[in-house]
Amino acid sequence: MLNATLKELSAQLAAKNISSVELTGEYLARIERLNPSLNAFVALDREKSLAQAKSADALIAAGKSSLLTGIPFAQKDIFCAHGWPTTCGSKMLANFVAPYDAHVIEQFNRAGAVNLGKTNMDEFAMGSSNETSYFGKVKNPWNTDAVPGGSSGGSAAAVAARLAPAATGTDTGGSIRQPAALCGISGIKPTYGTVSRYGMIAFASSLDQGGPMAKSAEDCALMLNVMTGFDPRDSTSLEREKEDYTRDLEKPLVGLRIGLPKEYFAAGLSADVAQAVEAALAEYRKLGAVTVDISLPNSQLAIPVYYVLAPAEASSNLARYDGVRYGYRAPEYGDLADMYGKTRAQGFGAEVKRRIMIGTYVLSAGYYDAYYLKAQKLRRLIAQDFSAAFQQCDVIMGPTAPTTAFNLGEKSDDPVSMYLSDIYTIAVNLAGLPGMSIPCGFGSTKLPVGLQIVGDYFAEAKMLNVAHQYQKATDWHLRQPL
């Protein structure tokens, strides 16, 4: 059952070959056995999960189930879930228990799914390696000396190690796609605004977007069917008709135009990753696709633009953690200003402090125009590059990350090198486009390589079709580490 697709699990549950209580129990037992060595989960509640599973079994017995009813899912610990700890990987929220459900959690609850537990993550989603969590580093299931990627590293590791059939993640600059690539699973960041951010703890509000992480593109499509939808509580939620993201999965790829940005195959890309990506492109040509050389001339500006805009928004969003209303408060202080200072100094980790300081600086008087405003103008140019590229192609492909998973601690003292891990993913967030990563092979160190697929706005169904057809022709997504 651990390798079954969501459709297969649903069929087994519908046929009464296994109950949701039994299935959930199997995963909880596997988590109990393997999580101590991976640290993928930070919150588990056996009673809550099994109670949900029991309710799901009742729905199935009454003939009121949907496709995901009774299937357990891991939830990134950035989504508020009523009665569950919601820590965002931070000491600041270490004791916070959510009093309400995020929209994404509500959607899974309506579908009758089971919350298997909350997964570890970089603190406030700030990181590319899942080493900044207050609750300790997450290990890559393929090699526990390596990082799983971040910030959704806990979700990626959980799916790769078969601790959960699938999981939710969030992506601000690549935080679904990069860990999906490093852990050898599939993950998609949908078009900005298609998944509600209500109840999703904010890092950078104009960039954050929730999405699914699973073994296959088809599983991601089934999850997107549940996760998307208009939510009036989120001012950035797009009012669009619900889509069936599985509708185009079986379409042939004959005539598909794949754009290859020259900037994604230049210096900085490791040879083993390039080789795996080239092999994947050759497979696509066999499936009838054609490749087109394109250029994204402003893509080299994506990282500096992102590390002005994202910290600026983080500085604003994280101002609410002051020890007054909720979250951590310093145990000893003099006056109110002293409490603010000590609470934030003690409650936030080093990477979060770094980004708050950068963000406060670029928003300060005298620097706003020079940095923040200029970055917003460059963001528009980056989006225009993609618009021009989609006049020549249907999807854009390239590596998800420049290397396979690096070792734990390898880049901890070099923030710039760490930031470069997201060099191919960040521009997609800045433009608000959908992007996904699927496994396409292994590097020289026997660690997974991810292929990134980028589509035009609202082209998720097309991207999932492109990914699914590749996965029907290959078996990289079926490989597992444990």
Q: Any idea which residues carry the catalytic annotation?
A: 76, 151, 175
Residue 345 is encoded by which pair of tokens?
């100094």
Residues 390, 406: Cα–Cα separation, whole Å = 33
Measured CA to CA, the distance from residue 131 to residue 121 in angstroms comes to 8
Residue environment code for 1-38, b if the CB has 16+ CB neighbours within 10 A, otherwise e: eeebbbeebbebbeeeeebbbebbbebbebbeebbeeb
Q: What SS3 state is found at 3?
A: coil
Q: What are phi and psi of 126, to 5 degrees?
A: -105, 95
How far apart (Å, rounded) are the C-alpha atoms in residues 231 and 214?
24
Whole-number Å distance between alpha carbons of 165 and 89 = 22
Q: Which of 403, 397, 393 is nearest to 423 (CA)?
A: 403
Residue 252 vs residues 45, 285, 360: alpha-carbon distances, Å: 44, 12, 50
The DSSP secondary structure of 144-212, one letter per residue, reads TTB---SSSHHHHHHHHTTSSSEEEEEESSSTTHHHHHHHT-EEEEPPTTSS--TTB--S-TTT-EEEE
The SS3 of residue 436 is strand
